[in-house]
Amino acid sequence: MKVLAFSGSLRTGSWNEQLLAIAVKGLLARGVEVDAWNFKAANIPVYDPDTSDANPPAAMVDFKARVRGATGLLIACPEYNYSYPGALKNLIDFASRPPEQNPFKGRVSAQLGATNGPGGTLQAQVMLRHVLSALGCHTLPGAFTVSRVSEALDAQGLKDERQKKNLDGFLDRFVDELKLRSR
């Protein structure tokens, strides 16, 4: 049972990377193997239908193999203009081609999101879920999201006990679903 974990942020010091790291710790504590993938380091180019399918960059070939090799995906996703970042859409679109090799089909996806705003990335999560389910992912209902994140996190992780409990419950549900799908 392996989970590919990555964030949809390219920002150094990303809140979503920080939230992802907390959730990854929780998965490891539950005995789940985690493949942590660095989106920024992969430097994925813009998908171009004229050239990308015939000649994908090594980083994309590697990413697709990692998706295929995982039972689940854990994605921490920022909100940009009430949606999710274009860079993440480009990554998913690129990896989804050609359709007969779509690696997302059959994976279990779980979504996280952090923002310093009040909305907790909820609108981004809805749109990300829409795309993942179109690609055949079994999307875990709900998302673990954090608003006003600069107040919610410190070096030790989430400060609020109720939020910690919510994350625990979310990860438990994810692991249950991973177990079901890896039978």
Ligand X SMILES: Cc1cc2nc3c(=O)[nH]c(=O)nc-3n(C[C@H](O)[C@H](O)[C@H](O)COP(=O)(O)O)c2cc1C
Which residue, 9 or 125, has its beta carbon nearer to ligand X? 9
| Number of Cβ atoms within 10 Å of the Cβ of 145 | 24
Binding site for ligand X (CB under 6 A): 9, 11, 14-16, 78-82, 115-117, 119
Which residue, 71 or 145, has its beta carbon nearer to ligand X? 145
> In 109-129, which positions are buried (b, 16+ CB within 10 angstroms) versus exposed (e)?
bbbbbbbeeeebbeebbeebb
CB of 99 to ligand X, least distance (A): 30
CB of 126 to ligand X, least distance (A): 12
Which residue, 149 or 171, has its beta carbon nearer to ligand X? 149
CB of 21 to ligand X, least distance (A): 12
CB of 158 to ligand X, least distance (A): 15
What string of DSSP letters covers 29-87?
HTT-EEEE--HHHH-PPPP-TTTTTTS--HHHHHHHHHHHT-SEEEEE---BTTB--HH
- 3-class secondary structure, 113: strand
Which residue, 2 or 80, has its beta carbon nearer to ligand X? 80
